[in-house]
A and B are shown apart, each in its own frame.
Chain A
Amino acid sequence: MNTGRFIRDRLPAMFIRAAAVLIIILFMYSYRVSYGLIIAVMIVAAAAEAVTLIIDYLKRKPFYDTLENSLEKLDKKYLLSEMISCPDFYEGSELYEALSESNKSMCENVAEYRRSAEDFREFIELWVHEIKLPIASLLLMAHNNKSEISEKMHTQLRRIDGYTDQVLYYARSENAEKDYIIKEVQLKRIVSAAAIKNKEDLLLNSVQLNISELDFTVRTDSKWLEYIISQFMANSMKYRSPDREPEIDISAEKTADSVVLKFRDNGIGIPESDMPYIFGKSFTGENGRTHNKSTGMGLYIVHNLCQRLGHRVEAESVQGEFTEFRIIFGNNSFLDLTEL
């Protein structure tokens, strides 16, 4: 609390009271009251003024001090009204009430948006599950009535399925704390599952898939990791180099305190200037402009997921030669995860 400003605030009132006391003294003087009495009155008036000032000051000081302190320390400033208690002077209690009232109304407002966001997310999840039914039905129809067209439809259906999965994973990655089951999983099993899921596309693009040294166990959520690997595969096929047969090498390596999964392709690579931004939201970069259309969401979701799962993801690339993604599973990732 700023003492100077507190006193300055009270100066006009003090002047008026001083003037009143002066006038009283003038009256007393003209009625020939004894000097001793006049001096006594002056002392009493001055003392009363000082005591009032001090009492006022002491009443306000704790309240304003907490207010200023809390405001400075809080990282969520809107919680201010929770940190202070109602003071026993008028302006203070008025301020306190206004603050609590406005905070309450803001909380309700925020809660409303949170609810509507949550509703929307739930709707999206439900919708994805619903849309899977007709997709499943169409896939079976294509399989039951084999022809050249059904093969083509099959490919397109898989694309639709991939995109709906992406919606689901995005909706969940934003708010997915409840959707993780971290357990020990075999890297090899997950990579195989991802490969089979993308089999049609990999074969269509005649990708040579080399899998080696994957006999490691890591702590992760298998569905999400499968999604991450599928995303890498999709990118490799999208940005394949026109001059050579596409190849994907997936391997893993154990270091002292981690397991590193390496995913390397021989595609067109990423320009060095784009490298720092590839995991950013909606970043499409040079490849996104010059090649197939890109949403800029794939690697963003990957990065987001890795962060939540407690893995690190790194990229390395030489334009025109290769791109390598590395996912680093810490051995002590269990400890990191408890902080989530």
Chain B
Amino acid sequence: MSKIFIVEDDPSIRAELTELLQNSGYETDCVTDFSRTAETILASDPDLILLDINIPYINGEEVLRTIRQKTDTPVIMVTSRTSETDEVLSMSFGADDYITKPYNPTILLLRISAILKRSVKNVQTQTYRGLEVNDAKGSLIGNGKECVLTKNEMIIFRLMLDNMGQIVNRDDLMTALWDNDEFVNDNALTVNISRLRSKLTDMGCEDAIETRKKQGYILT
């Protein structure tokens, strides 16, 4: 389980963010004494840091610089500022990504999982019911067969696989697709899901995707 460190001075956002990340299966840690932000982060040794730019005592950019001297842990800068300057600055200090408040929670989760996937070395190939999921080729391999998924189907399958056993609603699927420049509409999503279903059935996985009325889909 990956550990995410939250640096956020607004207690309400901090609590909600913790809940959001824990619901998505991450371990979290946070700082409440901002006079020792950088030390606390380093002591906690997280896999990823969500760093707010506007924090008390020192600003986030300085924290980032201090951390960068010691470790290569990926950092996502979070801010309510919307000027390009901050983006350019934090990237130059070595942030891995940048997101502005108020962010879309789904997009935040997508960014986090994308960065974690990039940073974790020796990724174990993920399997689903004995099928090997090959992200690079965009295909499922197993039972002596290989089935190529389209880009859209792969994005959908990925998101469901990352949230295995939990309901993924249509909106989250849509966000994931749009985040990858696939501006599908409601009907296209339905079509993509039914195609994915039949491909999974072809590979020997019957009833893999369950529909929960008015809530979304669930991969079992």
Contacts and interface: CB of A to CB of B under 8 A. Distances in A.
Contacts of B186: 203, 206
Contact of B102 (A136, A146, A192): A136
Contacts of B169: 146
B175 A133 contact: no
A199 B13 contact: no
Given A199-B178, A203-B186, A133 B13 contact: yes
A151 B174 CA distance: 14
Contacts of A159: none
A103 to B, nearest CB: 37
Main secondary structure of the interface of B (DSSP, over half): helix
B177 to A, nearest CB: 10
Interface string A154-170: 00010001000100100
Nearest to A151: B171
Using C-beta atoms within 8 Å of the partner chain, give the interface range for chain B: 20 to 34
Contacts of B183: 195, 209, 211
B10 to A, nearest CB: 5
Interface stretch (A68-76, A137-145, A280-288): A137-145
Interface residues of A, number: 37
Contact of A133 (B17, B23, B101, B103): B101
A144 B23 contact: yes
B101 A136 contact: yes
B20 A144 contact: yes
Interface in B152-180: 169, 171, 174-175, 178-179
Given A133-B10, A161-B102, A140 B16 contact: yes
Given A137-B16, A140-B13, A129 B81 contact: yes
Contacts of B23: 144
B33 interface: no
Interface in B48-66: 54
B107 interface: yes
Contacts of A188: 181
A195 B178 contact: yes
A203 B175 CA distance: 11
B19 A196 contact: no
A135 B178 contact: no
A303 B159 CA distance: 40
A221 B105 contact: no
B185 A140 contact: no
Contacts of B17: 140
Give the 7 A-B CB pairs with smallest separation, nearest first. A140-B16, A136-B102, A181-B84, A143-B105, A132-B80, A136-B101, A137-B12
Given A140-B20, A199-B175, A203-B186, 9 more contacts: A136-B101, A140-B19, A144-B19, A144-B105, A148-B214, A181-B88, A211-B183, A221-B84, A223-B83
7 contacts: A135-B102, A136-B10, A136-B80, A140-B20, A192-B178, A206-B185, A207-B185
Interface of B: 10, 12-13, 16-17, 19-20, 23, 54, 80-85, 88, 101-107, 169, 171, 174-175, 178-179, 181, 183, 185-186, 214
Interface of A: 129, 132-137, 139-141, 143-144, 146, 148, 151, 157, 161, 165, 168, 179-181, 188, 192, 195-196, 199-200, 203, 206-209, 211, 221-223
